């Protein structure tokens, strides 16, 4: 049994000497960046006590942020916002494809517009169709759509394209979060994916972003061409998209890399869940971060593992879930049901902390700041590990009917980066229930 287990862990970790890894391709660059917003300290104007009875004078610095903190956060040398601008401004960038649930980031819009105006860069943007009902949500894309190349001969101008997707044919939100730079280049392509949208998701929300440079010959790059075409041309519904992605993958004539696996939803949610469940079974430690947390199949797998007493499980969640319990109703984007899911795991031994982000109108918030990470870090007996992350929340819809891009990554440097970030989250930004305020008071 020990031999079988070790062999299986090896396959999960993707360390087989015969396997192809993303590192085997040239070029190879992989950078993981976390928003880690830089925010002022917000002090209370009244007496606030924690559930343990201690007086609190302020919200946790750099956990609790407001949109006014964006400028400092995006100015950081290693901020995702800055890296996005670096990619857009790069003189070698000729084409940009982006697909996000929302787009309200004026600074990124200006950078894209400059790329169109002064370098005739081809820009294609796909956004969830629900945004069309609110003019404010489409404001930045309307501006982008008006950008025109300067001093370009007639017929040579690359005009920006804006497409809407999702919410038809059995599919729900167009919830992808991906950027492709020069997707058809013969020498190198850049692929970015994230938990964050093109909004405060680059700055003051708590997010993770991945910036990958690879060969167009890699399976990883070719799979993202499938994703791009699927989003643009096969989004009439769940069935059409699922069939296209399946057929497109079959045409890829190179082996999928062992250290990074892609899962495109709809269609591959069961495969993603199976991968997660196998990793859960062979983990000694599982560290999770969640915004939405309601996927019954995932929660049942975690329950089963907790019952074995072989695995320590921790969760860092947005405080909307915590406040749902205090006020016995949904708060922000989270529901009371989600808190019930958390409590069911806590009863079996899971430890939970919350990041205080709730900033606006206690019961009718219009402006949301979020702990928006959604990932699972798996540590195995041999101390190596993997990360499951991507665009989607830990919900049933994210694994079945939304358009999502998920990843299972066993690259050691990525695993280490996530471990270090989680330590920062757990020890410096998040609070246990006993240390949370007894009532929601805004500074």
CA atoms within 13 A on the CB side of 294: 14
Q: 307 in a domain, yes or no? A: yes
Q: Is position 442 within any domain? A: no
pLDDT, tens digit, 9 for 90 and up, residues 25-38? 999 999 999 999 99
Q: What is the pLDDT of residue 15?
A: 39
Sorting pLDDT into bands at 50, 70 and 90, what band is 366? confident
Q: CB neighbours of 139 closer than 8 A, spacing ≥ 6?
A: 104
Residue 440, domain member (yes or no): no
Give the tokens for residue 432: 């246990």
pLDDT for 356 beyond 80? yes
Answer whether residue 252 is part of any domain. Answer: yes
User: pLDDT tier at 10 (50, 70, 90 boundaries)?
Assistant: very low
- Which pLDDT tens digit goes with each residue over 29-71? 999 999 999 999 999 999 999 999 999 999 999 999 999 999 9
Residue 8 predicted with pLDDT over 60:
no
pLDDT for res 363: 85
Residue 404 domain-assigned (yes or no): yes
**Domain interval for residue 67:** 2-435
In a domain, 107, yes or no: yes
Q: What does the alpha-carbon distance between residue 335 and residue 247 come to, in Å, rounded to a whole number?
A: 38
Separation CA 103–CA 133 (nearest Å): 14
pLDDT tens readout for residues 274-311: 999 999 999 999 999 999 999 999 999 999 999 999 99
How many Å apart are CA 323 and CA 331, to the nearest integer?
6
In the chain, the number of structural domains is 1
The whole-number average pLDDT for the span 167-185 is 99
**Alpha-carbon gap, residue 100 to 89, rounded angstroms:** 20
Tell me the per-residue pLDDT of 105-133, one tens digit each, with 9 for 90 and over: 999 999 999 999 999 999 999 999 999 99
266 preceded by a cis bond (ω within 30 of 0): yes
Residue 443 belongs to some domain of the structure: no
| Backbone dihedral angles phi then psi of residue 345, each to the nearest 5 degrees | -80, -35
Residue-wise pLDDT for 312-351, tens only, equals: 999 999 999 999 999 999 999 899 999 999 999 999 999 9
Q: How many CA atoms lie within 13 A of 14 on its CB side?
A: 23
Hey, is 314 helix, strand or coil?
A: strand
Distance from C-alpha of 373 to C-alpha of 177, rounded to nearest angstrom:
13
If pLDDT is split at 50, 70 and 90, which confidence band does 12 have?
very low
Residue 192 is assigned to a structural domain of this protein: yes
pLDDT of residue 183: 99
pLDDT band at 164 (very low <50, low <70, confident <90, very high): very high
Please enumerate in sequence order all residues whose Cβ is within 8 A of that of 267, keeping only pairs 6 or more positions apart, or say none. Answer: 238, 241, 242, 245, 246
Please, which pLDDT band fits residue 13 given cuts at 50, 70 and 90?
A: very low
With b meaning 16 or more CB within 10 Å and e meaning fewer, what string describes 307-339?
A: eeeebebbbbbbbbbbbbbbeeebbbbbbeebb
CATH classification at residue 137:
3.30.870.10
Selection from 442, 369, 386, 39 nearest residue 207 by Cα: 369
Which positions ≥6 away from 114 have C-beta within 8 Å?
Answer: 89
Query: What is the model's pLDDT at position 18?
Result: 57
């Amino acid at each position: 049994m020990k031999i079988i287990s070790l062999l299986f862990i090896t396959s999960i970790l993707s360390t087989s000497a015969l396997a192809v890894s993303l590192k085997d391709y040239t070029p190879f660059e992989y950078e993981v960046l976390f928003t880690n917003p830089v925010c002022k300290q917000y002090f209370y104007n009244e007496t606030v006590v924690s559930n343990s009875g201690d007086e609190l004078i302020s919200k946790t610095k750099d956990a609790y942020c407001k949109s006014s903190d964006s400028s400092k956060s995006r100015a950081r040398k290693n901020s995702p916002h800055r890296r996005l601008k670096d990619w857009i401004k790069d003189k070698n960038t000729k084409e940009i494809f982006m697909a996000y649930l929302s787009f309200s980031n004026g600074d990124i819009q200006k950078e894209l517009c400059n790329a169109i105006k002064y370098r005739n860069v081809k820009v294609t943007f796909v956004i969830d169709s629900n945004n069309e009902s609110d003019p404010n949500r489409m404001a930045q894309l309307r501006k982008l759509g008006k950008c025109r190349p300067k001093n370009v001969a007639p017929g040579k101008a690359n005009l920006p394209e804006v497409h809407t997707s999702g919410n038809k044919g059995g599919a729900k939100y167009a919830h992808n979060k991906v950027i492709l730079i020069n997707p058809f280049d013969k020498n190198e392509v850049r692929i970015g994916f994230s938990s964050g949208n093109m909004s405060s998701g680059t700055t003051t929300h708590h997010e993770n972003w991945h910036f990958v440079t690879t060969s167009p010959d890699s399976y990883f790059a070719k799979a993202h061409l499938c994703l791009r075409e699927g989003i643009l041309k096969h989004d009439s519904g769940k069935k059409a998209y699922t069939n296209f992605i399946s057929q497109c993958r079959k045409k890829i004539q190179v082996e999928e890399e062992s250290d990074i696996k892609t899962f495109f939803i709809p269609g591959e949610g069961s495969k993603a869940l199976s991968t997660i469940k196998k990793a859960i079974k062979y983990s000694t430690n599982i560290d999770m971060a969640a915004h939405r947390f309601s996927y019954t199949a995932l929660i049942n797998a975690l329950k089963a593992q907790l019952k074995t007493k072989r695995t320590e499980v921790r969760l860092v969640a947005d405080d909307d879930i915590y406040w749902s319990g205090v006020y016995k109703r949904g708060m922000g984007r989270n529901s009371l049901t989600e808190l019930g899911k958390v409590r069911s795991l806590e009863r079996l031994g899971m430890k939970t902390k919350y990041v205080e982000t709730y900033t606006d109108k206690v019961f009718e918030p219009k402006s949301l700041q979020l702990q928006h990470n959604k990932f699972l870090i798996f540590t195995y007996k041999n101390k190596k590990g993997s990360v499951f992350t991507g665009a989607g929340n830990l919900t049933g819809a994210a694994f079945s009917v939304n358009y999502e891009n998920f990843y299972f990554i066993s690259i050691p440097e990525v695993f280490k980066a996530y471990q270090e970030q989680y330590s920062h989250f757990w020890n410096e930004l998040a609070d246990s229930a006993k240390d949370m305020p007894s009532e929601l008071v805004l500074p």
